[in-house]
Amino acid sequence: MTSILDELQWRGLVAQTTDEPALRAAFDDGPVTVYCGFDPTAASLHFGNLVQLIVLRHLQRAGHRVLCLVGGSTGLIGDPRPTSERVLKTKDQTAEWVERIQQQVRPFLDVDGPNPAVFVNNLDWTAPMSALDFLRDVGKHFRVNQMIRKEAIAARLESQEGISYTEFSYQLLQALDFLHLYREHGCTLQTGGLDQWGNLTAGVDLIHRADGGTAHVLTTPLITDENGEKYGKSAGNAVWLAADMTSPYAFYQYWINVADSEVGKLLRVFTDRTQDEVVTLEQASVERPHLREAQRALASDVTTLVHGPAATAQVEAASEVLFGRGDPAALDAGTLSDATAELPGARVPVGTSVVDALVAIGVVDSKGAARRLIGEGGVSVNNAKVADVERALQADDFLHGQVALVRRGRKHLAAARKGL
């Protein structure tokens, strides 16, 4: 790549810029100070925030200065949604989430090297500002006729519910952030999602009107699948970056299950793989789709980025176990629980015969069928074949005191969960 902008464009991480030639020149003259804001409107960041963190990683690695803003003030307001007013969180709840998200973001960026990321909270400069100062110093630079053109605001104005002045003023607060960081840190670039274009450019306009300065915006595209649906939903739920909200196992499986036609795009966006590596993996998807080599590389890289190598090793081992390979006893209790949570099955007491267990967990319809299946060598417990038709489930068959994996043939897996 000849420049960081070329790198970002090749990876599919650039949707719009305010002035590409000027931004390219600024990068070449660098370093540029860039910021991205994350509002604590939930206890964790999600799939969409991951795109922004990856952009910041690329920019920091290219030598540019990164400011990471977690919005203690904007989080109290909330960016207006097109459909309805947000339920405001308490100040204590927001402060707790600010701290949690700051800690969540730190591993994605270099915080100890010669060019460390700087963490800021916009509550630090908005809380001391009076309402009169805000209206005089910020509000006077905005025109309402321009503000109402923003898509989300326009949609709300046409609805019966309308929009509160609180949410209507959100873009002023975000613009103030850019102006403050421009003045205090020399920040001249803000990044964000394409749907944030109006809020981002409001900051550019404010810098120009208030200080006569020049600043830039770079947005990332919405990452959608082959049907045009946004990535980041799993069974109707958001894919969170926090392990206690989306388990590392579920996170890994989300990436494993992406379509062959999409995996090359996602490798470019979410990993550090080179062009040659991506092309090789895309070719493998065409020539050996059943091996899912590209998906495995994608899932491994992104899970390691978000949850660390130890968690990735555990979930990869769990995936092997569920396919009948590997030792399930090597899995930690948390990963075992996550990996087996969706398996069909039932609770059975210690000492239950494998024959009775097969019937209880729904693997076969009758004890006779269970005995025939065992006699044919078609049953395993914890990936070890059952040879004795009289075998019973012992306490140590229930891994971590939780569950025994009972398999019929190669594909039918169920969970015998320890019961009383």
Is residue 236 very low, low, confident or very high in pLDDT (cuts 50, 70, 90)? Answer: low
**pLDDT of 4 over the 80 cut:** yes
The Cα 282–Cα 275 span in angstroms is: 10
Q: The dihedral of CA 165, 168, 171, 172: what is its sign? A: negative
pLDDT digit string, tens, across residues 317-350: 999 999 888 899 999 999 999 999 999 999 999 9
Check: CB of residue 320 under 8 Å from CB of residue 327.
no
SS (H, E, C) 82-98: CCCCCCCCCHHHHHHHH
- What's the pLDDT at 224? 85
Least confident window among 1-5, 338-342, 355-359: 1-5
**Which residues lie across from 233 on neighbouring strands?**
238
Q: Among residues of the chain, what percentage have pLDDT more than 90?
A: 83
**Overall average pLDDT of the 371-387 stretch:** 95
Tokens found for residue 397: 């068959």
SS3 assignment, position 27 = helix
- What's the pLDDT at 151? 80
Domains of the chain, CATH where assigned: 4-220 (3.40.50.620), 233-326 (1.10.240.10), 345-419 (3.10.290.10)
**pLDDT of 202 over the 70 cut:** yes
H-helix or E-strand spanning residue 380: strand 379-381
Which of the pair, 158 or 101, is modelled with greater confidence?
A: 101
- String of b and e for 374-384 (b: at least 16 CB within 10 Å)? beeebbbbbbe
CB burial class (10 A; 0-12, 13-18, 19+) of residue 261? exposed
Tokens found for residue 206: 């404010």
Omega before 21 within 30 of 0, i.e. cis: no
Least confident window among 69-83, 300-314, 380-394: 69-83
**pLDDT of 234 over the 70 cut:** no
Contacts of 275 (CB under 8 A, 6+ apart): 10
The Cα 327–Cα 148 span in angstroms is: 60
**pLDDT of 159 over the 90 cut:** no
**Overall average pLDDT of the 28-51 stretch:** 94
pLDDT digit string, tens, across residues 49-108: 999 999 999 999 999 999 999 999 999 988 888 888 888 899 999 999 999 999 999 999
The Cα 63–Cα 105 span in angstroms is: 19
- What's the pLDDT at 263? 96
- What's the pLDDT at 1? 45
- What's the pLDDT at 235? 59
